[in-house]
Amino acid sequence: MDAVGAELLIRTAELRITRIRRPPGLRIEGVVDVRTHRHLRTALDVLEAAGGDVRLDLSGLEFLDLGGLRMLIGFARTRDEGHHVELTGLAPHLRNVIALVGWDETPGLRLGARRAN
């Protein structure tokens, strides 16, 4: 993703989260599991005040556990009416899980472009 105004927010051995200004959002790379949930929550809190739509680029994820996925879905639910969280770069198995549990119908959530294989 070519993005303007990238700012590194989180960098650990397992996880790297970069804030993107245009389009507004985050690029999330690495592993999201119980050890890194707090870092993901911190990064999402940074975006909380951002008005309008936001994009979460997940194309660099190696692993996303159910707790992390719930966090992303919950974040989408908190957006003001008419504003969305777009998840881009989703791996096919994550799209399937989201659809299987019905989260693809979550208000405030959009499923964007799939991950290129």
72 belongs to a structural domain: yes
Q: What would the two tokens of residue 2 be?
A: 């070519």
Q: For residues 28 and 86, what is the distance between their CA atoms, to the nearest angstrom?
A: 13
Name the more confident of 37 and 49: 37
The overall average pLDDT reported for the chain is: 91
pLDDT in the model for residue 72: 97
Cβ-based neighbour number of residue 117 at 10 Å: 5
Q: Beta strand pairing status for 7-11 and 54-64?
A: unpaired
1 belongs to a structural domain: no
- What pLDDT digit, counting tens, does each position of 28-47 carry? 999 999 999 999 999 999 98
> Residue 31: which CATH number?
3.30.750.24
How many domains does the chain divide into? 1
pTM of the model: 0.89
Range(s) of the domain holding residue 91:
7-111
94 belongs to a structural domain: yes
116 belongs to a structural domain: no
60 belongs to a structural domain: yes
3-state helix, strand, coil in the chain (%, to 5): 30, 35, 35
74 belongs to a structural domain: yes
